[in-house]
Amino acid sequence: MEPYRNHRKPLDLRRRSIYLLPNLFTTGALFAGFYAIVQSMNGRFEFAAIAIFVAMVLDGMDGRVARMTHTQSEFGAQYDSLSDMVSFGVAPALVMYEWALKGLGKWGWFAAFIYCCAAALRLARFNTNIDVVDKRYFQGLPSPAAAALVSGFVWVMLDNHFSGEEVRWYAAVLTTFAGLSMVSNLKFHSFKAINMRKSVPFIVVFLIAMFFILISVDPPIVLFLIFLGYCLSGYVIWLLELRARPLTSQN
């Protein structure tokens, strides 16, 4: 009798393979998220906040490396999603809780859980809608941007010598706001339409250089303001579309 395995359909080896290079970046992002959790437990909140930004950089690189080297895989996509949950879901919630929200009692862990749960829902929705949504926009605030907003707030407050207890209510509002923004239906620019291989005007290169100069001058405040502006951009797009709707219906 012919062995049973010969009757199986050929496997898609590309989708099932595990590629080293892109998954190294994903592992690095996962480690940075884990490191942020450990540092927050040790009371070193500035290191924890910076680690989340490092995770965001590494997370942004793994997908690009996979596309450049043609090493995309289903394993890589799932691994990246699980890494994001740790680095941009659990880590920011725990860092904020340990730094500022613990003193609020059940309101504090409630705000942290809203953020953590929203991150999980946001990632699940992204994975299921990846082939049906407009590639130019994200549906809901991306979890890395939400994590940058929360950790950026911790970093900028510490840099200006504010304790978590002094700003705990502001921290609770910001954490809840970031969580609700992730599960909203608001549109946020994905910037995926930008083609790095095409030539750009000189002014674009100049602005990029200015961007890095500004970050080097005062990293905490500049990064926090950038991601706060990005978070608010979804609400601005929504208001503009809401304002344009009656004009469209009249025409």
In a domain, 114, yes or no: yes
Q: What is the pLDDT of residues 153-170, one digit of tens each?
A: 999 999 999 999 999 999
Q: Could you tell me the CATH number of the domain that includes residue 245?
A: 1.20.120.1760
In a domain, 8, yes or no: no
- What pLDDT does residue 174 have? 97
In a domain, 1, yes or no: no
- How many domains in the chain? 1
In a domain, 207, yes or no: yes
d(CA 226, CA 103): 29
In a domain, 3, yes or no: no
* Domain coverage including residue 81: 13-250
In a domain, 71, yes or no: yes
Closest CA to 40 of 113, 83, 85, 93: 93
Q: What is the pLDDT of residues 7-63, one digit of tens each?
A: 444 445 455 566 788 889 999 999 999 999 999 999 999 999 999 999 999 998 888
Between strands 137-139 and 187-189, the pairing is antiparallel
In a domain, 125, yes or no: yes
